[in-house]
Amino acid sequence: MDASIRLTVDGTEHVLDVDTRTTLLDALRERLGVTSAKKGCDHGQCGSCTVLLDGRRHLTCLALAVAYDGSEVVTASGLADGEDLHPVQQAFLDHDGYQCGYCTPGQVCSVVGMLDEVKQGHASHVTEDLEAEPDLTDDEIRERLSGNLCRCGAYRGILAATRQAATS
Amino acid sequence: MTADPVQHTPTPIRVRSVGTRLERVDGLEKVTGRAGYAVEHGADDGFDGALVAWLVTSTVARGRVTSVDTAAAAAHDGVVAVLDHTSAPRLADTDDGELAILQDPQVHFRGQVVALVLAETAESAREAASLVEVSYDVEEHEAELTEEAATYRPDSVNPAFDTDSDTGDVDAALAEAAVVVDEEYRTPHEHNNPMEPHATTAVWRSDGDGEVLDLVDSTQAVHGVASTLAPMLGLEQDQVRVRAPYVGGGFGSKGQPHAHVVAAALAARHVSPRPVRLAVTRQQMFALTGYRTATISRMRLGADADGRLTAIEHRVFEQSSKVKEFAEQTAVPTRMLYAAPNRRTSHRLAMLDVAVPSWMRAPGEMPGVFAHEVAMDELAQACGLDPVELRLRNEPDVDPETGNPWNNRRLPECLHRGAERFGWAGRPAEARATLEGDWWVGTGMAAATYPAYRQGGNAARVTALDGGRYAVAIGAVDIGTGARTVLTQIAADALEVGTDAVDLEVGDTRLPSASVAGGSSGTASWGSTIVAAAQAFRERHGDDPGAGAEVLAEAADDPLGTDVAFHSFGAVFAEARVHRRTGEVRVPRLFGVYSVGRVVNPVTAHSQLVGGLVMGLSAALFEESWRDARFGHVVTQDLASYHVAAHADVRDVDAEWLEESDDAFSPMGARGIGEIGIVGTAAAVVNAAHHATGVRVRSLPVTADHFLGGR
């Protein structure tokens, strides 16, 4: 069964017909040709498909497109203005926070979304004081980014990049 | 490429960019996600209107397909075709049992490709694949690796090492030894799990010259895919074009084509001229894309009271698949790591009805050095020696296996420097000596080694462009290693121009032939060839060539043809903390020092070495593919049950290298760095966990239950 939905992706509005089985990830990749969001597991286990969905980081492989009619999606591609990079992306370059690049767009979106969560005072599993403003320690960063796997093992660079982006 | 390549012996280059930091040249594409991986190519690349292929895999471990009922699948909305062994296009060559899929009804392992669905959308293809009804005549299968079952002696072990070795009299030496370690060490099945699942876009095109199979593949070797597939499909190699512009990791699993590439080629032939996209699912990867066999190592070390080894014996039992042999060279590093007059190694395989094992980062070295280096820790303990001192006492003057002189064996310097930087001195001699809060704390170390390889079969082309620029072309693949970046640096220095004057092209069989991104051989193999081409270019065309001047060249030198032993070395140090009540293991510090020749780019090299350490840490603590022998498949077949290190698992991990240049090995002075970081790492963690707790773990991964007295 098909359904018509409206999505704004990286600033461009699309009206598209999707199969009601279509995930948001497949709607982006297969229908719209937006391949910045990657498919690493299709089961919500790796984080490669992370985008900013209505401003929050979200796994698109676990979202059915039909449920997000009218939503706004920003991928890593849309975070940059052409070659003008988002500070988080520049920080990834500065600290070599990637190797093969496949998990990277998801990592970048996850960092952007995570920094906003911290700004809003969200606690994490390792936050000691749930009442206070969260202090973005290395442990907090590692914990909050553990939904994004990197098999190349670039976590050290991702941590340094996140620190830089958080303080700039 | 019309002319035959020039044979040129490269000479050491004057380094300017090489050895300095250069940000990855493909960074912008990667951090924005605009880099196009294997199934991310559409109309712009000639793959308009691609169908989606979905694999149907066997649910039995051994038997014959008796029928494939495709009616429900074929009737599903959007389905274009369903192929099985009766309807798929025929292959011209079916010798490779792993690759010759859909040609006969035999089932060799659970998870084998038995049918595939082609549909207009992924949703249709996937659902229709679940509607294909396959019936089997089930036969008894064997899928359990045991020492007793491992009786088959392969002719050689990967890639071409002797299966066994025997020097001196090991049994006599052990009988006389003052100290003996006699233990068994085990490593589990492990899966490479690159973040990009194996995937291929395929189309058959007809042009004036006849048929061409055009592939974009997630591979470590574009020419390797073409040379493997062409004869199977009855084509000349130049009728198979393979591109791999971006590859989302491989770690060996994309070093050789696996069955899905053949499936994509057959599917695309069936629906020609429509293109086909085929992405292996994460679950299917556990059966179809290679893995590291489990290993059982029987180690016997004999030493005098001062810890000087008199005997080393390493007998390995591991598995392969009946349908295709792969013999991991687990005991090969044991032949050269330490001196001992009496040495014996062997490899025996259990040939089972299981998926085909293959390369995974440092095949042989990773499990073999794990066993040897935990045994060495046990020997140090038995001798009352510091583990670093034990290694220093057993340094061989020459390669024990061949008697050849070492080119540059700097293991002692790695050990000294690593010990100093890690803060090794002053650790308690006794295990289970430090309790901090609820955590037992300890430190451990291990040596690392990896052979230096340079592969044949490479050529590079240098072409002068307008404005003092140069095009440099070689069919190498950057799978995340940084090859694009370091080859740009090497080309720039060899041509004596800036890196911004070099347009490097890689990842396409239309470019000059290149060897696999594997065996830590890429930089040395491709780089030496680029240097040869650049130097031949300058000889022929001078410093001010006209646009269009061109040279295609091969490197004529062969360091591995000399009587010199070329290896890299390293020393890994780890701190482990084990919770005294739960047994939870954490590794707050991991540090490696390496001797790898000249580092071409400190940015990408550091990431490679740290990445290897992280994968070693992951193997130490988490990774285990659990095969249920009753059914023959791996049950931990996703990233929720096959655990790899996540961000929070990775604490302070760092790597350094010795400043050096190995000019005898390559004109850049570089060896290779892709694999050595994983070698020895799990042993260092196990040894640290022993120092923390007094509990000796001899099997990976080092899970909490080892420390709770239940095993």
Query: Per-domain residue ranges for chain B?
Result: 6-35+456-555, 43-140+193-288, 165-191+292-453+564-707
What is the pLDDT confidence band of residue B1, given thresholds at 50, 70 and 90?
A: very low
Q: What is the CA radius of gyration of chain A?
A: 16
The residues of B annotated with a catalytic role in the active site are 675
Residue B74 bridge partners (DSSP): none
Which residues, 6+ apart, have CB-to-CB distance to B628 below 8 Å?
Answer: B634, B635
Taking residues B284-299, report their average pLDDT.
98
Average pLDDT value for chain B: 97
Residue B612's H or E segment, with its range, is helix B602-621
Give B111-130 pLDDT, tens digit per residue: 999 999 999 999 999 999 99
| B77 touching chain A per CB within 8 A | no
Q: What is the ipTM of this complex?
A: 0.99
Contact B197, A40 (CB under 8 A): yes
Give B584-616 pLDDT, tens digit per residue: 999 999 999 999 999 999 999 999 999 999 999
Query: Which site among B23, B26, B28, B31 would you substitute to test the A interface, given the most A Cβ atoms closer than 10 Å to its Cβ?
Result: B31
Q: How far apart are CA B61 and CA B196, in angstroms?
A: 27
| Residues of chain B positioned with their CB less than 8 A from the CB of A157 | 607
| A50 to chain B: closest CA residue | B33
Q: Which CATH architecture has domain B43-140+193-288?
A: 2-Layer Sandwich (3.30)
A-B Cβ pairs (cutoff 8 Å, strict): 189
| A156 to chain B: closest CA residue | B653
Which residues, 6+ apart, have CB-to-CB distance to A89 below 8 Å?
Answer: A76, A79, A80, A108, B31, B32
Domains, chain A:
2-79 (3.10.20.30), 87-167 (1.10.150.120)
Give B629-687 pLDDT, tens digit per residue: 999 999 999 999 999 999 999 999 999 999 999 999 999 999 999 999 999 999 999 99
Is A102 in contact with B26 (Cβ distance < 8 A)? Answer: no
Same fold, B6-35+456-555 and B43-140+193-288: yes
Query: What is the pLDDT, as a whole number, of residue B472?
Result: 98
Ranking A92-96, A128-132, B71-75 by mean pLDDT, the lowest is A128-132
Residue A8 bridge partners (DSSP): A13, A72
| B619 to chain A: closest CA residue | A151
Is B195 in contact with A159 (Cβ distance < 8 A)? Answer: no
What is the pLDDT confidence band of residue B562, given thresholds at 50, 70 and 90?
A: confident
**Residue numbers of B between 208 and 237 with CB closer than 8 Å to A:** none
Q: What is the CA radius of gyration of chain B?
A: 26
| Residues of chain A positioned with their CB less than 8 A from the CB of B54 | none
Q: Reduce the DSSP state of residue B711 to 3 states and report it.
A: coil
HSE (side-chain half, CA atoms, 13 Å) at B148: 2
| Residues of chain A positioned with their CB less than 8 A from the CB of B482 | 99
Comparing CA positions, the residue from B154, B152, B197 lying closest to residue B290 is B197
| Residues of chain A positioned with their CB less than 8 A from the CB of B33 | 35-38, 75-77, 104-105, 108
Is A38 in contact with B611 (Cβ distance < 8 A)? Answer: no
Structure-derived torsion over alpha carbons of residues B516, B518, B520, B521, reported in degrees to the nearest 10: -20
Range list of β-strands (E), B455-501: 460-464, 470-473
Q: Where are the alpha helices (DSSP H) in B165-242?
A: 170-176, 222-232
Q: Which CATH architecture has domain B6-35+456-555?
A: 2-Layer Sandwich (3.30)
Contact B336, B167 (CB under 8 A): no
CATH of domain B165-191+292-453+564-707: 3.30.365.10
Kindly state the tokens that stand for B633. 């498949």
| A22 to chain B: closest CA residue | B123
| Residues of chain B positioned with their CB less than 8 A from the CB of A21 | 123, 127
* 3-class SS letters over chain A: CEEEEEEEECCEEEEEEEECCCEHHHHHHHHCCCCCCCCCCCCCCCCCCEEEECCEEEEHHHCEHHHHCCCEEECHHHHCECCECCHHHHHHHHCCCCCCCCCHHHHHHHHHHHHHHHHCCCCCCCCCCCCCCCCCCHHHHHHHCCCCCCCCCCHHHHHHHHHHHHHC
